[in-house]
Amino acid sequence: MKRGKSRWKIALLAAALAFAPVVGLNLLLWLHISANGGADIEEASASMLRLAERNLDDAMTQIVAFSMNVEHASCSEDTMKALGTVILKAPHVAEISVIDPAGVPVCSPSGRPRVVRAASGAHDTQNPNLKFAVVDFGSERGQKIVQLLWQYPDGWNVSALIPGERLLPALVVGRLQADFVSRLSLADGTFIAGKLSRSDMSVEGASAFEERTISNRYPLGITVSVPSAALWDNYRQLFLLGNAGGVALAFLSIVGALAVSRQMEGPVRDIENSIRRGDFIPYYQPIMCIRTGRLLGCEVLVRRRRGDAIEGPATFIPMVEATGQIFEITRLLMASARDELGPIYAVRPHLKVSFNLVADHFSNARVVEDVEEIFTGAQLKLSQVVLEVTERHPLPNLSAARVIIARLQELGVRIALDDVGTGHGGLSYLLKLGVDQMKMDKMFVDAIGTDRYSTAIIDTLVKLAADLNIEFVAEGVETFEQIAYLKERGVDAAQGYVFSPPLPGPLFLELIRTVDPVSSRVPERVKKAIRGAAADVEAA
């Protein structure tokens, strides 16, 4: 009897262990959908509204330019040409016309302006001369059109018509994965246009999530809703796969977590102890002008003291990036470099110091606060700081990264894109992030004279930097042949072992005093005056 009860207990325990992961996974999926669904839709709604505002801003800019520069009271050929230019520069504008004081359209690029009927009242915008309204062509069920109306003091007007559907994109870049319905309306709820993310999607049933975003510049709002049927279609396969593999996933997760925790416990604590003792120290690799031989600055590279030995970054960087300890180490390096280089950099304002940041630094604005706190009021000025965005890992959010980079540049900090041509971002980072400098990876420099494809890439990158007016630095230069090649291509700045390996602080400071003495930059006339005064004193 006892043996039978034991078997039942074992069976029940086995069943619980088998089904618990499945139940837990389903619960987590629903919690995830509930927690993030509204946020994802709100992000999509805000993104669509920003695009609509940008299109309206473009139209407003072109209308203002026309109104300020073109004679409006005559429908001359130049006037019609100028009206056509507005549509070319703001292609979401379907029609533009000049309206006389009686309200009659008298001029348009096609010469046949159409009469519209007001479907809403006129609303104010941020420009006192520009009104915003919704119109149509006389049909209750016809297409609704946004009208931007510039009002002249003499009663004449310029009217730009933008179909509402042109302000609604069909695709939204963001986390929203389920099919959705978007609706553009006035702030009071008056419908203007709507669009489905997929033409054959089902919109039956109530909406699982719905969010509305109101513009603070125009009397507009955009509502994005996800029908329940679309939400289920999006997550159905995920639920099925989750239930099928739940037990195996739970088992592997537990085993894996135990194994990783055992392996990570020692190294993580070791890194924490090193941070607390100040074992992470900056080494400085000089950056030289290969055209003049002048020192331009340095790149800060991290090293760790291990007793009497110095440990390179390859042994700890992957660990500290994975655990998030890289943020504290970066702050320590910045503070150490500030204190070590500050006095000598203060009298050499042309020198720069570069720090490497990881992709996660650009996920929030903490890095801006850190940089401002560390360097504000220091001898090493913010204008001497360069922050390098590495391409080793993709930036989690390009829009957020661009905002953070802009805030850093407002402080006077310069931004460099590191490892150009080898990482995740490629040319898109150059176009979207607004960097000040690009650093070519050592891989391409090594190929000089041996690989015609790589040298063609070098030539392309150098020309691109020149066309974009971006500073260009070659990394990993190790031979005089490479220097000659880069110099011939118009490259000025380079770093690498041909000049110097990374140096500890005292050696780098001595290098600065040797190759860039302060007295060498004193104007000759001042030197003569000093020598003359010294001679007078000696004679006396």
pLDDT in tens, the chain (540 residues): 444 444 444 445 555 565 666 666 667 766 666 666 677 788 888 888 888 889 999 989 998 888 888 887 888 888 888 888 988 898 889 899 898 898 888 888 876 777 888 888 888 888 888 899 998 877 767 788 999 998 998 889 999 999 988 888 766 666 666 678 888 888 888 888 888 877 666 666 566 678 888 988 888 998 888 876 666 666 666 666 666 665 565 555 544 544 544 554 568 888 888 899 999 999 999 999 999 999 999 999 999 998 889 999 888 888 888 888 999 999 999 999 999 999 999 999 999 999 999 888 888 889 999 999 999 999 999 999 999 987 667 787 888 889 999 999 999 999 998 887 676 556 667 777 888 998 988 888 888 877 676 678 888 888 888 888 889 999 999 999 999 999 988 899 999 999 999 999 999 999 999 999 975 554 555 446 545 554 554 554
Domains of the chain are 55-167 (3.30.450), 278-526 (3.20.20.450)
* Residue 79: both structure tokens together: 């006037």
pLDDT at residue number 332? 95
- In the block, residue with structure tokens 């409006």: 72
User: Per DSSP, what are the bridge partners of residue 14?
Assistant: none
422/195 Cα distance (integer angstroms): 40
Instruction: From 49, 372, 343, 336, select the one nearest 214 (Cα to Cα).
Output: 49
- The answer to whether residues 355 and 300 touch, using CB atoms and an 8 Å cutoff, is yes
- The answer to whether residues 209 and 226 touch, using CB atoms and an 8 Å cutoff, is yes
- The answer to whether residues 92 and 55 touch, using CB atoms and an 8 Å cutoff, is yes
Question: Is 151 exposed, middle or buried (CB count within 10 Å of its CB: 0-12, 13-18, 19+)?
Answer: middle
pLDDT at residue number 245? 64
- The answer to whether residues 368 and 411 touch, using CB atoms and an 8 Å cutoff, is yes
Residues contacting 221, CB < 8 A, separation 6+: 49, 184, 185, 186, 187, 212, 213, 214, 215
Q: State the amino acid at position 540 in one-letter form.
A: A
DSSP track, 29-68: HHHHHHHHHHHHHHHHHHHHHHHHHHHHHHHHHHHHHHHH
Rounded to 10 deg, the angle between the 228-277 and 2-69 helix axes is 100
pLDDT at residue number 73? 80
- The answer to whether residues 125 and 71 touch, using CB atoms and an 8 Å cutoff, is no
CA dihedral 404, 409, 410, 411 (to 10 degrees): 100
Q: State the amino acid at position 296 in one-letter form.
A: L
Neighbours of 326 (CB within 10 A): 22
User: Per DSSP, what are the bridge partners of residue 209?
Assistant: 226
Question: Is 531 exposed, middle or buried (CB count within 10 Å of its CB: 0-12, 13-18, 19+)?
Answer: exposed
- Residue 476 region, left (φ>0) first, then alpha (ψ -120 to 50), else beta? left
Q: Where are the alpha helices (DSSP H) in 382-523?
A: 398-410, 427-433, 442-446, 452-468, 480-488, 505-515
- In 187-332, beta strands by DSSP E: 191-196, 207-214, 220-227, 280-289, 295-306, 309-311
* Residue 307: both structure tokens together: 């007793």
Please give the DSSP secondary-structure letter assigned to residue 491: -
356/330 Cα distance (integer angstroms): 8
- The answer to whether residues 138 and 117 touch, using CB atoms and an 8 Å cutoff, is yes
* Residue 170: both structure tokens together: 């069909």
Q: What is the three-class DSSP state of 375?
A: helix
- The answer to whether residues 146 and 159 touch, using CB atoms and an 8 Å cutoff, is no
- In the block, residue with structure tokens 């630094």: 361
Residues contacting 471, CB < 8 A, separation 6+: 416, 436, 437, 438, 465, 493
Instruction: From 489, 486, 443, select the one nearest 463 (Cα to Cα).
Output: 489
**DSSP β-ladder status, 181-186 and 157-163:** unpaired
323/66 Cα distance (integer angstroms): 56
User: Per DSSP, what are the bridge partners of residue 311?
Assistant: 304
Rounded to 10 deg, the angle between the 326-346 and 505-515 helix axes is 30
Q: Length of the chain in residues, anyone? A: 540
pLDDT at residue number 69? 87
pTM: 0.50
